[in-house]
Amino acid sequence: MWAEEKTALVTGATSGFGAAVARRIHAGGGRVVALGRRRERLDALTAEFRGERIATLAVDLRDMDGIAAALDKRPAAFEHIDIVFNNAGLALGLAGAHDANLQDWRDMIATNVSGLVAVTHAILPAMVARGRGDIVNMSSVAASYPYPGSNVYGATKAFVRQFSLNLRADLLGTGLRVTSIEPGMCETEFSLVRFGGNTGAADKVYAGMIPLNAEDIASSVEFVLRQPPHVNINSLELMSTQQAFGGFAVSRDG
């Protein structure tokens, strides 16, 4: 099996892309360290995997000290990490910058940027010492294409994309690979979180079109990881066929 003898650390493993990638790696014969905030969902994933080749860590990525403490507690059998899937992240609100909630901004930066950096920093030295491994970071098309209300969310994903590219520069010659995955509209819990649990508002985002889904992203991650060692996919951007780019916005109020 393609992931046999490999151990993957998956953040945000309790839903969406994280859960789908964790399942795919496990099905491919790999071991999974599933990190997430919701203990009950981590327990459900453990039960789904029948307790085999899985370790779970309950931690909020906004808790910098908690990240290091949680990673230190992983079982010895999961010590050597071969794959890091930095997936945990969120968008909060869709208000313009002048109306946005400052705490929402802080939470997005803490999770999407600071948490991702902390996880990477904790795992990277050992990967470099072993001379192999994959770091796959979840960015977004919002990293490259602005849209109203994306303000800080888009900025955090631009950081993820640029951080990934700079890791590539730093890790040249180490044997490690780094990829930024940059999807467009995907129907997971993303919009439900963005709109504070408002199902109606979340459903409107995908009304009348077929968006990407978690399995599409998991398939893309598997594609990246299956490449031969001499191939690094720097970034992978994908969208629904029914999503494309708009023209420039122009204000004509005089």
Which of the residues are catalytic?
153
Q: Going by DSSP bridges, is the β-strand pair 83-86/54-58 parallel, antiparallel, or unpaired? A: unpaired
- Candidates 220, 42, 33, 38; CA nearest to 123 is 33
* Tokens matching residue 16: 């969406």
Task: Please report, for residues 14, 189, 207, 221, 225, the alpha-carbon distance to residue 238 in angstroms, rounded to integers and kept in the order given.
Answer: 23, 19, 19, 12, 17
Q: What is d(CA 5, CA 32) in angstroms, rounded to the nearest whole number? A: 11
Half-sphere exposure at residue 55, Cβ-oriented, CA atoms within 13 angstroms: 18
Residues 110, 249: Cα–Cα separation, whole Å: 30
Burial environment of residue 21 by CB neighbours within 10 A (0 to 12, 13 to 18, 19 or more): buried
- Residue from 94, 218, 111 nearest 156 by CA: 111
Structure tokens at 254: 């005089």
Q: Give the ranges where the chain is alpha helix by DSSP (H).
A: 16-27, 39-48, 64-72, 102-108, 116-130, 151-170, 190-194, 199-205, 214-225
